[in-house]
Structure formats: structure tokens, C-alpha cells
Amino acid sequence: MTDAWVVLQASGLRESLAGLLSRLPEGAIAPTVELLMAVLKATAIVLVIQLGMLYSTWLERKFIARIQDRVGPNRIGLFGLGVPFADMVKILTKEDITPTAAHRWVYNLGAVLVVPPALLGFAVIAFDRHLIAADLSVGILFFFAVASTSVIPIFMAGWGSRNKYALIGAMRAVAQIVSYEIPQVLSLVGVLLLAGTLGVNELIASQGPLGDGGFPGVWFVFLQPIAFIIFLIATSAEIERTPFDIPDAESEIIAGYHTEYSGIKFGMFYLALYFATIAAAAIGAILFLGGWQPPFAFLAFVPGWAWMTGKTVLLVLVFMWLRGTLPRLRADQLMAFAWKILVPLTLVNLLLTGLIGKLLYAAEQPPLVVFAAFTVSNAVLLGLLLWLIAWWRERDGAPAVRFDAPLAPSGRTA
Amino acid sequence: MSESWVFVAVFALIALSIPLIGLLMAFALRPKRSGPIKNSTYECGLETIGETWIQFKVQYYLFALVFVLFDVETVFLYPWAVAYNHLPLFALVEMFVFLFILGVGLVYAWRKGALEWV
């Protein structure tokens, strides 16, 4: 397995940089080389992610078109592969309109600041065992802390536009993002508790055959399936993808907080959305699907970055699939779902995981017993989830779902 | 470890430069033909009525308050979870008490109607 990062580190890039800088004073060479290496690494990551973003817009159009029985873009280039670049040219050459009523500084800063939070999380994403830019000891915490700052530019955009739709959109966005942040971060605590670390590489190492041989040795999705589902739901609310796109619901409030933006400034919001989607899929793959770990030891000949990319693309496709199949929720349903169903569920999951961790795993019971205990605890959680939803629907006066009821006659005759 | 944080700082600057470069490129390329009608607020072609920056529905702020409570809780839960395997059994009991108090808080907010979207 060739390791691109190691090759890059060992390829003499450092030495040649030091050679170029040999005219500097002796003490300044090493720090400058470090700084230049950091700039090169950061630029490389940004370029790769940018390409990934362009093609995930293409993938989303194609995939959703297929779900809806259409063909999707197919004109520019083979299979429409040139469409993202044509879009880029279009967005760059569009006229920029700043409404006279808007607060110019807040309005423009909103469009600029929306990108960095979505991009910064990639600093701690491990694409392979050594292909990680900054393996911080608090990597997971850093990722979610940075991602959660995205509410500030969004609110700046909505408030600065001085447009009623934009303000409503921004208010909804802030309420939604802060509400779903709670189940999102709480659903991870079970994983962190079992892994006992916040470092990204250590976390991945603990969940597969190429790891440190410790517990659990399998992907966390098998131990915490309900937490994984809660994480997926909360994350797609967090990045405001349909069915959680109430902040920019076209049929209600035009385009929410980016109603007033045009040209490249609208493009920034679009960019941030796709960066955030890829970042969320990547962190989901790291936390629950084992990152660069293969599922079995005999598959270790496939390089780690291929596993990581595959899992990330898989989760991106899950987000797109949700968008293609589900209708938008209502604002009150959305908030109630976060606080009354997801938060209690994550807390119960945390208690059960803590109990199993201490009473069975720490007491060195055989792995099979521990897995059985997790199966039971997740079955309990699933039951609780279904019961909560049923109770909620009944209280709201929604018609109870009857699976045994005969289907209503559809107008179509065979 | 400190060089990792240097990288994070450099990465933040590069990430900030991405939208700035985009804005500069668009500034050079785009047409510039503005007008008073074009620059008016976009509300279905009508003149906008009334002030936009008004007092907003209080419900949004109630959610924000409950959010602060639970976000601080998470800050306490993360270090507990990371150190969990090294802690004695009593840590579990302590966390149960902590979560119980928070659960009571959630039930209180629920009963008071802070979680209702009226």
C-alpha cells in the first residue's frame, strides 16, 4: 500500500524548500519551511474538496433525476460531466445586486463568512491512516465546534438583507440549527464513551481489523445503530438539506436567508451547503463506519483512502436519497421532533451505553455478551422511538397509521 | 501537537481566502448595470411595506435558552465520556444524577410550554 502523504513528506519537498530559503537567517529557515508546508497541505485539501464539491452537485442532479424518473443533465460533456464547470462560469459572470435597503457590511460579510465553517472541519478528517492534516487530540470536538459557528453568518445574511423573507428564513435557520445540534452532539457521546478518545485517528483505529486490537474492533454502527440514525437525521437538519430545508423553503419564503443574494454571493451559500454535506458524510464515516478501516482483515489490500472515499460517497448518497424521497416537514413538527423525540432518545441511549460499558465491557465479559447487550439496548431504543412517534401522532390528532387497512382505490385502472 | 494548531490557523486563512478570491474574480468578470428598481428589496415585485427589523416572535428565543442549557451539558458530558473507561463505578452514578437533573429540567420546560410552537 503506497501512502501518498508519506511519499509527499519523504519526497524531499522539505529539503528543496529549505534549499530555496537558504539565504534566510539560520533560525528562520525551519519555521518558514513548516509554514510553507502547512500552506501547501491546506491548498491541496481545499482543491480536492472543491473538486469533490463540484462533482457532488453533478451527482446530486443525476441521482435525484434518476429517483424522479428523469435523465438529468446530459448536454455538456460526456454524461453532462462539464455542467459543474459551466455553472461556475455562469455564477462568476452574473450581475451582483445589493439591495439599497440592506446593511452593506453585514450583508456582504455574511456571504464571505459562510464558507470557512463548512471548510475548516476538513482539517481533522483522516482520509487515510497518515493522510490527516492535523490529528488534534480534540479532533471530533473541533469539528463540531467549528461546524456549529455556521449559524452566525447565516443570521448575518438574513438580518443584513433587510428583507422579510430573509429574516424569517434566518430566524428559522437559527432555531433549527441550535435545536438539532443537541441530538447531533449527544448521539456521539455513546461512541466517544466506548472509544475513550476525541482524536480522529485513535477513534478509527479502535473500530476495525487494522486497529490497535482493542474494543470494539467493529464499526460503531453495529453497536450504536440507533445513535447512527439519530446522527444522520440531526446532521441533515444541521446542514439544512431537504426534508429539513424549512429555512429556505421555496414554496413559503422564496429562498429564505439567501433571497437577496445573486451571482457569486449566492454561489457562496451553495458552496457552503455542499462543503458541509461532504464534511458531514466524512465525519459520519469516521465515527460510525470505521473511516479508513476495511470491514475485514483480508480486504486490507484495498488502500485506506479508497475505503474512506467510498464510505463518504455512500453517506452523501444517503443524504441525497432522503432529499429525493421525503417531503418537507412543518416548522412546529420539526422543533418538536428534535426536543421531544430525539433528545430523550439520545439521553436514554447514553444511559444504556454507560451501563453496558461499565457493567459488561469493563468487567471483561466475553465480546459476544457485550454485543448481545448492545442488541437488546438498541431494540429497547427502537421500541421507545416507535412508541414516542405513535404517542405524538395520536396527541396531534393525526390519523393513526393502519398497516392492515386496505389500500384506498387509486384512480388508475390496470 | 502545536504544529497541528499552526496548520489549523493556516487552513483557516486559506478557507477565508476562498470566498474572497471568488468575489474578486466575479468583480472582474461580471456586468455592472445597477438601477433603483433593480436594487429595491425583492418582495414579489411590490413595494415593501413596513419596517423589517421588528420585534420577533418570542418562541425562537425560548428555544435558544433551552439550547444553551443543553449545550453546556454537552460540554460536561464530553470529557466524562472520554475518561469513562478509567473512572470508577461511582462516575456512572454521578452522571445518572446529572442526567436526571437535566431530564427534570427538560420535563419542566416541556410542561411550561417552552417546547410548543405556538
The percent of residues in chain A predicted with pLDDT above 90, rounded, is 11
The answer to whether residue B20 neighbours chain A at the CB level (below 8 Å) is: yes
* Least CB–CB distance from A116: residue in B12, B27, B43: B12
Task: Look at residues A217, A224, A218, A222 and name the one whose alpha carbon lies nearest to residue A192.
Answer: A224
Taking CA atoms, A269 is separated from A173, A272, A311, in Å, by 13, 5, 25
d(C-alpha A209, C-alpha B52), whole Å: 58
Selected for mutation to probe chain B from A54, A192, A202 (highest B CB count within 10 Å) is A192
**Residue B85 above 70 pLDDT?**
yes
Residues of chain A with pLDDT under 70: 1-11, 210-216, 361-364, 396-414
Tell me what pLDDT residue B35 has: 80
SS3 A281: helix
Tell me what pLDDT residue B66 has: 86
- Residues with Cβ within 8 Å of residue B34, at least 6 apart in sequence: A95, A97
d(C-alpha B118, C-alpha B108), whole Å: 17
Yes or no: say if A200 and A129 are a contact pair by the CB < 8 Å rule.
no
Alpha helices in A93-217 (DSSP H): 104-113, 115-120, 139-148, 151-160, 164-195, 200-205
SS3 A257: helix
With CB atoms and an 8 Å threshold, state whether B99 touches A38.
Answer: no
Task: Look at residues B31, B84, B111 and name the one whose alpha carbon lies nearest to residue A90.
Answer: B31
Min Cα–Cα distance to chain B from A218, Å: 18
Residues constituting chain A: 414
d(C-alpha A243, C-alpha A232), whole Å: 12
Amino acid identity, position A265 = K
Tell me what pLDDT residue A401 has: 53
Q: For residue B49, what is its C-alpha cell? A: 411595506
What angle in degrees, to the nearest 10, is found between the helix axes of A343-356 and B89-111? Answer: 170
Residue pLDDT, tens place only, A1-10 = 345 555 555 5
Residue pLDDT, tens place only, A121-132 = 898 888 877 777
Min Cα–Cα distance to chain A from B28, Å: 9
With CB atoms and an 8 Å threshold, state whether B64 touches A174.
Answer: yes
Beta-carbon contacts below 8 Å between A and B: 217
- Model pTM? 0.86
Task: Look at residues A308, A310, A258, A275 and name the one whose alpha carbon lies nearest to residue A118.
Answer: A275
Yes or no: say if A345 and A385 are a contact pair by the CB < 8 Å rule.
yes
Amino acid identity, position A301 = F
Neighbours of B26 (CB within 10 A): 19
Q: For residue A298, what is its C-alpha cell? A: 483480508
Yes or no: say if A240 and A311 are a contact pair by the CB < 8 Å rule.
no
Largest CA distance in chain B: 70
- Residue A217 falls in which region: left (phi positive, over 0), alpha (psi -120 to 50) or beta: left
- Mean pLDDT (whole number) for B19-23: 89
With CB atoms and an 8 Å threshold, state whether B52 touches A101.
Answer: yes
Min Cα–Cα distance to chain B from A71, Å: 31
Tell me what pLDDT residue A1 has: 38
Chain A contact set for B65 (CB, 8 A): none
Residue pLDDT, tens place only, A89-125 = 888 888 888 888 888 899 999 999 999 998 998 988 8
d(C-alpha A84, C-alpha A55), whole Å: 7
Tell me what pLDDT residue A384 has: 86
Alpha helices in A341-366 (DSSP H): 343-356
Amino acid identity, position A23 = R
With CB atoms and an 8 Å threshold, state whether A133 touches B5.
Answer: no
With CB atoms and an 8 Å threshold, state whether B36 touches A120.
Answer: no
Q: Is the peptide bond before A216 cis (omega within 30 degrees of 0)?
A: yes
Tell me what pLDDT residue A8 has: 57
Nearest C-alpha in A relative to B68: A178
Largest CA distance in chain A: 86
Q: Tell me, what DSSP letter sits at residue A398?
A: P
* Least CB–CB distance from B10: residue in A42, A178, A182: A42
d(C-alpha A338, C-alpha B70), whole Å: 12
Domain layout of chain A by residue ranges: 10-74, 94-395
- Mean pLDDT (whole number) for B33-47: 76
Task: Look at residues B24, B10, B115 and name the one whose alpha carbon lies nearest to residue A182.
Answer: B115
d(C-alpha A279, C-alpha B15), whole Å: 14
Give B2-111's CATH code, choosing from 1.20.58.1610, 3.20.20.70, 3.40.462.20, 1.10.10.10: 1.20.58.1610
d(C-alpha A331, C-alpha B84), whole Å: 37
Tell me what pLDDT residue A75 has: 84
Chain A contact set for B110 (CB, 8 A): 339-340
CA A60 vs. chain centroid, Å, equals 15
List the 52-91 stretch of B: residues with Cβ below 8 A of A.
52-53, 56-57, 60, 63-64, 66-67, 70-71, 74, 77-78, 81-86, 89
Q: For residue A193, what is its C-alpha cell? A: 464513551
With CB atoms and an 8 Å threshold, state whether B15 touches A116.
Answer: yes
Chain B contact set for A114 (CB, 8 A): 19
d(C-alpha A232, C-alpha A284), whole Å: 8
- Residue A132 bridge partners (DSSP): A126
Tell me what pLDDT residue A116 has: 92
Amino acid identity, position A19 = G
Nearest C-alpha in A relative to B32: A95
The answer to whether residue B103 neighbours chain A at the CB level (below 8 Å) is: yes
